[in-house]
């Protein structure tokens, strides 16, 4: 399991070179507050790094979920779509947003590791 983080507060987990799970970080969830709506991308859509792939709304605000790497969406978390409040429970685990086939591993390698993200998030 290899987890990296974007400066836009998304995490991506590549396990055994399969599709990588993408979600929002705990910092993002805490900043947003109670999540009430999630708009997930369509399966099969190809995104470039940095493009808006999803939208999350909370009782406080709405926020874009940016694609941390270029790739094709191969699965979405339908459970999260039907009950967006689950993203409040385990945003860094089973409440991932979508899975993507990474098309450029150099983009993945350039993302922040956990210590670098933790320091970044403390200053955000």
Return per-residue pLDDT of the chain as tens, 124 residues. 589 999 999 999 997 667 999 999 999 999 998 999 999 999 999 999 999 999 999 998 999 999 999 999 999 999 998 899 888 888 888 889 999 999 999 999 999 999 999 999 998 7
Instruction: Report how many domains make up the chain.
Output: 1
CA angle 2, 71, 27 (to 5 degrees): 50
Which pTM value belongs to this model? Answer: 0.93
Structural domain includes residue 120: no
DSSP 89: T
Give whole-number Cα distances, 118 to 1, 91, 92, in Å. 18, 16, 14
Structural domain includes residue 63: yes
Q: What is the CATH number of the domain that holds 91?
A: 2.40.50.100
13, β-bridge pairs: 3, 21
Structural domain includes residue 110: no
Place of tokens 């390698």: 109
Structural domain includes residue 32: yes
Structural domain includes residue 116: no
Name the residue among 37, 34, 8 with its Cα closest to residue 23.
8
Structural domain includes residue 118: no
Structural domain harbouring 77: 2-103
């Amino acid at each position: 399991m290899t987890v990296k983080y974007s400066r836009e507060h998304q995490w991506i987990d590549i396990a055994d070179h399969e599709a990588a799970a993408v979600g929002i970080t705990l910092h993002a969830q805490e900043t947003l507050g109670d999540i009430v709506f999630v708009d997930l991308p369509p399966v099969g859509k190809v995104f470039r790094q940095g493009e808006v792939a999803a939208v999350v709304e909370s009782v406080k605000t709405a926020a874009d979920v940016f694609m941390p790497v270029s790739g094709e969406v191969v699965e979405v978390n339908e459970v999260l779509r039907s009950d967006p409040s689950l993203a409040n429970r385990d945003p860094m685990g089973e409440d991932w947003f979508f899975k993507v086939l990474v098309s450029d591993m150099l983009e993945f390698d350039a993302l922040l590791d956990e210590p670098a993200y933790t320091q970044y998030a403390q200053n955000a």
